[in-house]
Amino acid sequence: MTKFNLCFNCMQEGHKTCDCPNPHYCKQCKKHDHTLLHRNHRDQMSRAPEIEANSTQCEETSSSPTEPKEGSYCSFKEQRASQVLLATATIKVTDSRGVQQLCRVLLDKSSQSSFITEAFAQLLQLKRRHNEMPITGINNTCSAATHSIDIKFSSKDNKYSNVVTCFILPNLMGNMPSSVIDITNTTLKVPKGITLAN
């Protein structure tokens, strides 16, 4: 927390705990710090970061100037976790019988090729081509695709359609995000008229 200059109450930048405008208090000890930083709460968490806690003085004006108020000082030995939302869209893909199957796609603007999972390729039952292609990713990790298929896809919201060659892989990614993100509250403001992919 100290390394990133974060408030111990709201965990945001730009102010000290004693100047925090957030009215919430720790649910465990009722002090002006975040519940996640409380020792009993941390002990219950299986993957809680290692924390050093010390007592320090908080520079705040009080009715008695000679008596400083006491606050909390903590420092994380682990970087704070964050969630990243990846761009996705829902499209319709035509299978071998002419039936349109709904498919969620990950839009990766830095990728030079298109990929499809083995499971979805089997569902489509389209003709495969033997087409070996090495795939290099972050930290120079390498894998390879051995087959590809051509898929015809279309938008589910307008008349746009196209054909793209997809290389078949067992999996494209793990489950993301790793926790539920509530998009109904005010933290994520989606403009009116925007249809979300999922």
Q: Exposed/middle/buried for 32, CB within 10 Å: 0-12, 13-18, 19+?
A: buried
Sign of the Cα torsion 91, 97, 99, 104 reads: negative
pLDDT band at 99 (very low <50, low <70, confident <90, very high): very high
pTM above 0.85, yes or no: no
User: How many residues are recorded in the chain?
Assistant: 198
Contacts for 139 with CB less than 8 Å, ≥ 6 apart: none
pLDDT value of position 56: 39
pLDDT value of position 64: 45
Which of 78 and 95 is assigned the larger pLDDT?
95
pLDDT band at 22 (very low <50, low <70, confident <90, very high): confident
Q: Which region among 13-17, 93-97, 121-125, 138-142 has the lowest average model confidence (pLDDT)?
A: 13-17
3-25 average pLDDT score: 75
Question: What letter does residue 13 receive in the DSSP assignment?
Answer: B
Residue 55 pLDDT exceeds 60 = no
The first and second tokens of residue 31, run together, are 């002090």
